[in-house]
Structure 1
């Protein structure tokens, strides 16, 4: 570690609240495409993309030009009190991806999108209960935190959380509740136990779920789970909210992950890649559901025009990349699956959201994860963890095949060295 890096980290620890975890001492100076450079000029392959945010790569000139052009017009003018055209343009584009007539509400982040979705579901249905899934991550503000449970530390000391909430198991084959047919066993649990013992279904406003659990370890559900869950919910007038903050905007090889599962959610939460690095989130919902009355929900910065200018570019460019995302993701997974190590338990994911789980003695191997991530960093690859011991790979959607395989081979070699 150089003196410059040491000093920046020392100052960070002195002046910033240390309520987050860093995996290794990387300090970014600048980036280009799928490469980033630290303050000493060392080059790294970016397998993190700011946790899936930098969809079109670093320094994308189309985004830069669009934001510059918007800056010359105006930086900000509160959408909650006035109108501007670019907000309508992006909402039209988002709505065009939906298989139903939709409306949009803009936010600033993923957790704020979840908070808005909770209010929309409660306001529309007049019901109070929201049910989520164990091992999910939906954000850290108090409303969304009620449904976040990928790690106990995320919730420790912050109770009481939002009332009238309940968590049920996610369809994870490692869970004891998932027997031979994970989908049927969990649906039976929900209908025969939750709806009969905990809360009457006529009091439930919505279920909220990630279509793929990201922070929880890149857990991909059975293909039929969400379709059958939604069929159950519709029997009782319950809404389905899908949190696509991490999986949306092309990350899984389709514009939205729900397209993989033959289901159409009532409400979708977005952020991360939607603004390409400029804070922007959104809630998309069926037009008849997005009916909160004037004055009941708003914010100052949601739909910031600079973020929307970036989003227009992203929403135009990402659909062109979907085949590339699927193809490169498949190659990464095949390379990881050829790893010769007793500690590689499973490789899973869709598109360019990929997890390689490490286990030792049939237990999460967190020490192994830390070694793999740190040693990969030393060799010029930036990846982060998920779950208890999962190497998470989510590079920019534009990453070149050669660069993707080069980075994957380094991770593979570090797993084999354990």
Structure 2
């Protein structure tokens, strides 16, 4: 704890070598020999430890971390409350499958999530290892619950890189190049304008009664951190209601207090049918969640599951994270975000 506190209060940024330093260069050279070249590795950063917003590399260089492990360390690095929750749970039970057995902490987190998502009516949750897996679960549930096959997504969207999620992703061509054919039945339209759906898709390409879901990031992430035009999400909700289409809010990146509210859709008063969480949900532990209206979850036992999803240690980290976000961090995001927007 002392070393962590010392790092959190240490001057940063503070460089003691060139970047990357000698130890970092050794490790980078090894990685380039033995890891998959598909990993983007955009920066020559080799982190060794972190505390709060300070990250220290293997050569002792310190940085202010504006990356947060790709929008994951929502409570900062090694927040004491999260670390303590992980330690406590790890000392009791590292793993048992929540898919096949009744884990108290799995149910506790599902109950907590069901109580804080802005869905219409009672909700149920399915826990995964990542946001991408939550997207996959939502695709399956949407098709199963509606009996429809088509899905609408948006240009600029990022929903993951597995086969189902990459079929929704439309932020960079390199994510899709060479992997076709992708999931059939997915249509992409420009973000921020429902008229494209009404005028182009529904008149020329697909009947609305055959569309299972519209999947949308309330604020686009990798597509450029695009805040939607005022009224867009409410119009999208109305369009879905008109045609019995499920509205899926992918809050993997925009959720967990990042926009000053627990969920970005709350800024516009929109209630989706399914909400997806990931990244910052557990402060760095691998976890995702699909939370849906309870009446949609009519699928049979075995229709979907996950050996590791909802791992007890990750669930403990998530419960501690939610406490921190609700108690102080969402408000801090509102305050600091407002200052940044003012310039």
TM-score, normalised relative to structure 2:
0.92
Structure 1 contact 274–314 (Cα < 8 Å) conserved: yes
CA distance in 1, matches of 2:61, 2:144: 51
Q: What is the count of residue pairs matched by the alignment?
A: 321
Residues 317-356 of structure 1: matches in 2 within 5 Å?
A: 317-320=324-327, 321-335=329-343
The residue that corresponds to 1:18 in the other structure is 37
Separation of aligned partners in 1, 2:93 and 2:160? 30
Shift of 1:3: 2.4
- 2:167 is the alignment partner of 1:160: no
Q: CA RMSD in A?
A: 1.0
Partner residue of 1:147? 168
Q: Return the offset for 1:332.
A: 2.0
- Answer yes or no: is the 8 Å Cα contact 1:223–1:260 preserved in 2: no
Task: Please identify runs of 4+ aligned residues in structure 1 that moved more than 3 A.
Answer: none
Q: Distance in 2 between matches of 1:23 and 1:331?
A: 29
Separation (CA, whole Å) in 2 of partners of 1:326 and 1:214 = 18
Q: Distance in 1 between matches of 2:129 and 2:267?
A: 27
Aligned position for 2:6:
none
Counterpart-to-counterpart distance in 2, 1:222 and 1:8: 45
What TM-score comes out, normalization by structure 1 length? 0.75
Instruction: Tell me by how many angstroms 1:59 deviates.
Output: 1.6
Deviation, 1:50, is 0.7
CA displacement 1:211-241 (0-9 Å, x = unmatched)? 1110111011012101111101111100000
1:160-212 deviation per Cα after TM superposition (whole angstroms, max 9, x unaligned): 000111111112xxxxxxxxxxxxxx323211221121000000000001111
Residue of 256, 265, 269 corresponding to 1:249: 256
CA distance in 2 between counterparts of 1:75 and 1:15 reads 29
**What does 1:199-348 align with in structure 2 at a 5 Å threshold?**
199-320=206-327, 321-335=329-343
Give the deviation of 1:273 after TM superposition: 0.8
Unmatched runs of 5 consecutive residues or more in structure 2: 1-19
Taking the aligned partners of 1:217 and 1:20, their CA distance within structure 2 comes to 21
Select which of 45, 52, 72 maps to 1:33.
52
- CA distance in 1: counterparts of 2:59 and 2:194, whole angstroms: 53
Structure 1 segment 114-129 matched on structure 2, within 5 A: 114-129=135-150
Q: Distance in 2 between matches of 1:95 and 1:222?
A: 28
Structure 1 residues 294-303 or 20-29, which shifts more? Answer: 20-29
Q: Which runs of 5+ in 1 are unaligned?
A: 172-185, 336-418
**Matched-pair contact (CA < 8 Å) for 2:159–2:169:** yes
Write the mapping of 1:33-72 to structure 2, written as runs, cut at 5 A.
33-72=52-91
Map Cα deviations across residues 312-365 of structure 1 (whole Å, 9 max, x no partner): 101111012222111111212333xxxxxxxxxxxxxxxxxxxxxxxxxxxxxx
Deviation string for 1:371-413 (max 9, x for gaps)?
A: xxxxxxxxxxxxxxxxxxxxxxxxxxxxxxxxxxxxxxxxxxx
Q: Please show how residues 84-99 of structure 1 align to structure 2 within 5 Å.
A: 84-99=103-118
Of the candidates 57, 81, 99, which is equivalent to residue 80 of structure 1? 99
Distance (Å, rounded) in 1 between the aligned partners of 2:267 and 2:95: 37
Cα deviation for residue 20 of structure 1 reads: 2.4
2: CA distance, partners of 1:333 / 1:23: 27
Distance 1:34 1:291 in 2: 43
Counterparts of 2:306 and 2:117, CA distance in 1: 24
